[in-house]
Structure 1
């Protein structure tokens, strides 16, 4: 249906309503420019069908009583379906004159003709009610409740051209069309009513018994955020039976609403306070009772704390007892909605009265039941003693620290405020989530023998979630120096392979000391994750720096090693023998080759010297290499590879011994080698006392086993 059609139909409905209003029993005048703060409740009753059963009339009377008690301040109207223009109202619930409304409703129904075969033109009632709501400028939440058992027209043309446009108009204004389905309502009416309710966010309330009346009462209470009824007993009685209902009243209770739903309009109710006295005798509390055929509503204002009882007698049939309490104390809680799985959490609760923190007496007890995702329940006592997660004693905040959650998932928490003399308690429920949060890890690299004035990559930092990379900004990571007084140098972090936003999950830690000493530092990551602030720190990183020992610098050379020329031995004449030439010649050649090899080997310089650590302890003797290769030592006796030294630090380096000189050559990038604090590029000569730095360790080459210490 387009907007133009809706506007035309609305105008027609208004014209019909205005014309009919001149013939109404009671005229209603309202300022259409002022929106009412009071919801409008229209009872659209098919009086010709309701009058046919006394139980239906009693149910209508009970509905009005419950609605007017709970919906204080609402304006009530009655509109009969056989003459919807002749409505009565408004009657405002809570005013002294409201008692006239249920009486007039009963009078109109009682004086109606009993005719359950009449058809009902429900569209006329809806049109009149829309016009009334429009004139009253009714706020959203207002609407009409249809009550009746006579059949509605259900043919497609009627529903599509009359009812559907009306329901669209109701929905646009936030007004509902609901139905009280009494026993015997035709199925066709239920179908029509269900469609109307669905289109306007209304409801269908089945009222075949008192159970439906209780459900409707629950709906009214929850709609107005007043809570939910608490059961205090149910029993099928005879006239001689007794039902005793207990009502627990907590300290701070402003009022208690006790409701009794009964099948028959009989019985008596006696209310007793915790001292066993009837409510009207010697009690500070005041009470009021509203009695209807199927429901009794008893309101106790400012009741004294304790266990109240209601004795119900003289009823033949089912009776159920319920109550709702309003407490001036509000139980509040403080806890993050999301908690890291590796972090302990604190549950805090406090009580407010009129939005101010209220300090409970010493007899008040606060506790919290925590249910894990695996349905394991643990109870914690909340204390206001300044310990175990409580920040300050006596400030009204009750707290307890709970251990780090063992698993991810939803945790349910119920906080209870109780008193020793009352078997009921004030409860507040909430949930929190446990999740894996980002972590920061550190992998130390070179942390000792860091020479002053040089720059080193001393560690790598990783940020992850469940072993998966989690990129963060460099500004999210901060450095904290533990020993500020001893720190000297520059410490920074560089992102490795940052994304377009500059974020990375791997960072290199760069350190350049400017004085010898020991530096202790940790790295913190500060994030906003899962709508909360979160931080985590690495383990302690200890960096040791020192001055490099000073020794005479040796000249560098990139000239490749040139082996010294060998002078071939002079030939000798062999004496003539009688041995056949076929044997003499090969043997002579072999002997000559062996002589040449021996002479060549002896001409090569023999490895010499020692490698000692920075403490002066000898760790390598070049003259005695346990891993020396036999074949290699024949032809390249003067060359010692890093693997032949037996020291992992020298893998990737080669020592070439000459007469009075030793040349060290870097053959791979396995390790960075420094000669007297200078990086080794290609080759360099080392002499007696030369320092060799590799993998964070310091070694010295000496020609003698013992060497005087020049490092001081």
Structure 2
């Protein structure tokens, strides 16, 4: 019977709301997009001034935490009179708040709140406004009447189903003296509707409510500055660090007594004034005080609080203008290194800040690794100071969702801005390239140079021939022809195994780079492997080395002469100095002759398209090494990656190259490995670490060097990248 009466009430109120004017409903709906609706039970509260003060402090706190949002109020003894909804920034909000305070302080009703009627009336009112699921309901009560939790929950079950269906969370705020059975019922209401229960107490109850509201509103969380018991002879002092980019700082004080005063000092040590922030505001309520600064200057501020008595807790929360966003477009591939990129913006504009950006990445198995992101143009970052922070991650081995916690940290200030995000990693199509015949190809003859196998993980994956992109470059202009021949077509012309054929047009050196460019799972993916070097040039003939001279026969052994008595004589000091000077002069002369006779390094090393990499006469060497080994130059001194395995000898009409025995790298001359002393002719090709270079006997002019220096740096970077890829 009870359920039937509640159902009739719900239907009747719904019809009443439907019959109101459409214009009035539209106006209410626009005001109540994210409405906070308070249902206040005055039965126990209005008879106690301390409870009235707590409720007023609660309302003032919520107005600040949800600033700019609409509020509406109804009292449990008069559901026919709804106060609001009105936005906190609206012109009539002050009058609304004053009316609520007056009603709260009026004589209390004789009967406590009826939960069934309260929920039914609230449901119909909000349903008539058509408010969104982001709206919320607050039940404030202090009823001490004995409640049977099980029976009451059963009676509330039908209306709770309706509230739960629309998604409005119900938050309960009760005085400490409220009946435990009632608290159990309210806890069940909160559980059913995804709400929470709080105690109307100082400081812990309001602290918990403040913290949860800040988190739900996306404004961070409370940071405790300290707790003290005030007395006339005591001063509460604390420092607070304000980081760059702080748009708003709020200090919240929960207090048992309202006789407190606050004094702020800016980082210069003087009392705060309008020059150190854009605006400020202080809100004083019986059990609460809020001091708010807008756009305060960064640095270390200090706070003094004085009071007569009572417990006081100080907290802060800040709204920073800086926003951290993970810039990962789509899933990243498993099995290859990837870049993680995050942006830092200030009011929508990208900025590079004087702070560290740390990313804690947790894989699907729960293992976390920390990475430092930078905006300095190194370590995976493309451009310094552009507001994009980057780091290169090693190959991910597990597919799934990776959680990312990004922390913007200032080393000199104990403050961190944290943002949570995630990205997905999955297996993408990949391929392996196994080279075959790449040396001494015959011009005009079609030759198989490699095999390609495409797969995802350990499974074959068929692709169309157009998804595999070969790119050829030679030193003679005509690139020749590359053909992809599928071994076995699976369907629609696709295959997972291909043979690669190349036809060289003339005697030349060529590089063939192969990429896989395929769409998979709605995402375009490209993968490139290291290029292979192909030669159709006959191998160079090494210079025969001279056999070593025969070892002379040992001289016959003769008996030593009998000892002769030595007569010691003392040479004049002048004679000794002359002899020493003659020896030094002779040594200098020998070194000078050796220096003049030997040929200094000459020539230039160019990229395959003619850009200057290094001019050998410009290589800086220690003076003594330049004197003793003028016509020799080690590949390590060139500063070009991969040449540390060879050294050069320079003569009047030719240049020789020889291997260094202790190096593991191999340099190729005209696509032949250098195993002995070999002539480097003008225009010869040198291959190192997958890159092709030309040796020119002539020195490139200075103006050409200036025009091509940027290209040299690019080649050097590419060489380093190639080396890094091989090492991986």
TM-score (norm 1): 0.62
Q: Does 1:112 align with 2:107?
A: yes
**1:347-358 paired onto structure 2 within 5 Å:** 351-358=344-351
Aligned positions, number: 525
For residues 17 and 458 of structure 1, do their structure 2 counterparts lie closer, same or farther at Cα, with a shift above 3 Å needed? closer
Q: CA 1:496–1:318 in structure 2 vs 1: closer, same or farther (change >3 Å)?
A: farther
For the residue of structure 2 that corresponds to 1:365, the secondary structure is: coil
Quick one: which of 459, 468, 472 aligns to 2:450? 459
1:656-695 equivalent positions in 2, closer than 5 A = none
**1:38-97 CA deviation, whole Å, 9 max, x = no partner?**
444332222112245555333211210111122234443432223333444455423565
Indicate the residue corresponding to 2:307 in structure 1. 314
Aligned to 1:42: 37
Partner of 2:466: 475
Q: Out of 52, 55, 62, which is 1:57 matched to?
A: 52
SS of residue paired to 2:218 = coil
Cα distance in 2, alignment partners of residues 197 and 438 from structure 1: 49
> What is the CA–CA distance in structure 2 between the aligned matches of 1:366 and 1:340, rounded to whole Å?
30
Specify the alignment match of 1:629 in structure 2: none
Q: Does residue 496 in structure 1 map to residue 495 in structure 2?
A: no
Q: Distance in 1 between matches of 2:152 and 2:409?
A: 58
For residue 523 of structure 1, what is the aligned residue in structure 2? 514
Aligned residue for 1:232? 225
Deviation at 1:122, TM superposition (A): 1.8
Question: 1:36 deviation in Å?
Answer: 1.8
CA contact (8 A) 1:367 1:382 kept: no
**SS where residue 213 of structure 1 aligns?**
helix
Q: Deviations over 1:239-258 (max 9, x none)?
A: 54433233322334332221
Structure 2, gaps ≥5 residues long? 539-728
Q: 1:404 aligns with which of 386, 394, 399?
A: 394
Return the alpha-carbon distance in structure 1 between the equivalents of residues 265 and 278 of structure 2.
11
In the other structure, the counterpart of 2:599 is none
Q: Deviations over 1:446-477 (max 9, x none)?
A: 55676677655443212345555444443221
Aligned mates of 2:287, 2:493 — CA distance in 1: 72
Say whether the 8 Å CA contact 1:489–1:512 is kept in structure 2: yes
Pair 1:272–1:200, CA change in 2 (3 A): same
Q: Report what 1:218 is aligned to.
A: 211
Task: State yes or no: 1:145 paired with 2:135.
Answer: no
Q: Which has the larger radius of gyration?
A: 1
Aligned to 1:414: 406
**Equivalent pair of 1:333/1:350 in contact (CA under 8 Å):** yes
**Cα distance between partner residues in 1 of 2:191 and 2:235:** 43
Structure 1 residues 467 and 455, CA gap change in structure 2 (3 angstroms)? same
Inter-partner Cα distance in structure 2 for 1:456 and 1:89:
85
Which moves more between the two structures, 454-463 or 306-315?
A: 454-463
1:304 aligns with 2:297: yes
Query: What is the root-mean-square deviation in Å for CA atoms of aligned residues?
Result: 4.4
Query: Which shows bigger deviation, 271-280 or 328-337?
Result: 328-337
Pick the aligned partner of 2:67 from 50, 66, 72. 72
Q: Which of 175, 183, 186 is equivalent to 1:182?
A: 175
Residue 492 of structure 1 deviates from its aligned partner by 2.0
**Contact preservation (8 Å) 1:238, 1:316:** yes
**Equivalent residues of 2:375, 2:383 under 8 A apart:** no
Q: Residue 549 of structure 1 corresponds to which residue in structure 2?
A: none
Measure, in 1, the Cα distance between the counterparts of 2:430 and 2:255.
Answer: 62
* TM alignment of 1:71-110, pairs within 5 A: 71-90=66-85, 92-95=87-90, 98-101=93-96, 103-110=98-105
Which runs of structure 2 are paired with 1:189-588 in the superposition (5 Å)? 189-235=182-228, 240-280=233-273, 285-314=278-307, 316-332=309-325, 334=327, 345-346=338-339, 351-358=344-351, 364-371=353-360, 375=368, 377=370, 379=372, 381-383=374-376, 389-392=380-383, 396-397=386-387, 399=389, 401-402=391-392, 404-405=394-395, 410=402, 412=404, 414-416=406-408, 418=410, 424=415, 428=419, 430=421, 438-447=429-438, 457-483=448-474, 485=476, 490-500=481-491, 502-511=493-502, 519-528=510-519, 531=523, 533-540=525-532, 542=534, 544=536
Q: How far, CA to CA, are the matches of 1:469 and 1:156 in structure 2?
A: 62
Task: Indicate the SS of the match to 1:32.
Answer: helix
Give me the whole-angstrom Cα distance separating, in 2, the residues matched to 1:229 and 1:525.
Answer: 51
Change in Cα spacing, 1:316 to 1:148, as seen in structure 2 (3 Å) is: same
- Which sits farther off after the overlay, 509-518 or 264-273? 509-518
TM-score (norm 2): 0.61
Unaligned stretches of 5+ residues in structure 1: 22-27, 547-712
Aligned partners of 1:169 and 1:256: how far apart in 2?
A: 40
Q: Distance in 2 between matches of 1:263 and 1:235?
A: 11
Which SS does the other structure have where 2:51 is aligned? Answer: helix
Distance 1:322 1:533, change over 3 A: farther
**C-alpha separation in 2, matches of 1:65 and 1:392:** 48
- For residues 376 and 126 of structure 1, the distance between their equivalents in structure 2, rounded to whole angstroms, comes to 49
Inter-partner Cα distance in structure 2 for 1:309 and 1:291? 20
User: Take 1:198 and 1:166, find their aligned partners in 2: how far apart are those partners?
Assistant: 14
Q: CA deviation at 1:323?
A: 1.9
SS of structure 2 residue aligned to 1:147 = strand
Identify the range of structure 1 (524-533 vs 222-231) with the bigger mean alpha-carbon deviation: 524-533
Distance 1:294 1:439, change over 3 A: same
